[in-house]
Amino acid sequence: MRGYYGIMTGLAMSVALAHGAWAQTPTPAKGSILAGVKTAHVVTATSIFMPGLSASTKRVEDYFNDIGSLQADFTQTVTGDTQPSTGTFYWRKPGKFLWLYKTPAAQKIVSTGSAVYFIDDRQQATQLPMDAGVARLFNAKKLNLSQQGLRATDTKENGRMFSVTFAVEKKIAAGENSGLAKLTLTFTKLAGGRMYLSQMDAVDTLSTTTRVEFKNVSENVTLVNKLFEYTPGVYDQRN
């Protein structure tokens, strides 16, 4: 079960316990990050060469804040699992996203803009907190990483990649959100100062890593409302 919403790290344990079981989940696959970008966010030359963690944090915030929508294929792997999950991710501001899992089972995580739901392959749904795990990156109207409880601890960069690792501040990320311990965002750099989000690694408090690799990334595309619609009649984990 956790393999289908491990990307919402910090929720996997509570939802699995609510349903009474863990399902078989995927092992991290080694492999290069795939490209296939149709349009990519442009980072200015001045921001590319700004040193330090505060500058790296601003580059990440600028990337998320400058995009209106995004669509990408993804592959998700989880520590200790034997099979990856694949599907398509859709994100449209403000606060709407859809993780549409296609293999090994048809499941989804959808944010309608006012609530987040996990719907399994039997169409059973569970309501999840709006700001848990990586949902905080996609539900913020204007992303401020420190306000989301994320503090940069490390940054790396070479000619092809730029990455920033964030620790989760427990004083901010309380309750269900405290399951996320560390988050690394990796961007692939392209010609002309462009870059795109190509990988996310989320580590929970049990040291389980969920990795999501993106390919065929398209930014600022038209995404219809129907993608993000869901009428609840659900088990609510918060009660």
Identify which has the larger pLDDT, 45 or 129: 129
| pLDDT value of residue 8 | 62
pLDDT grade for 20, boundaries at 50, 70 and 90: very low
State the distance between the two ends of the chain, measured CA to CA, in whole angstroms: 21
Handedness of CA 141, 2, 218, 50 (dihedral sign): positive
Which residues have CB under 8 Å from 91's CB, separation 6+?
A: 67, 69, 70, 71, 97, 98, 138, 223
| pLDDT value of residue 132 | 73
| pLDDT value of residue 109 | 94
Prediction pTM value: 0.78
pLDDT grade for 208, boundaries at 50, 70 and 90: very high
pLDDT grade for 165, boundaries at 50, 70 and 90: very high
pLDDT grade for 6, boundaries at 50, 70 and 90: low
State which CATH number among 2.50.20.10, 2.60.40.10, 1.10.10.10, 1.20.1260.10 fits the domain covering 2-229: 2.50.20.10
Structure tokens of 86?
């694949």
Helical (H) or strand (E) element with 13: helix 12-19
Residue 61 has pLDDT above 50, yes or no: yes
- DSSP line for 43-103: PPHHHHT--SHHHHHHHHHHHHHH-SEEEEEEEEEETT-SS-EEEEEEEETTTEEEEEEEE
Question: CB–CB of 164/60 below 8 Å?
Answer: yes
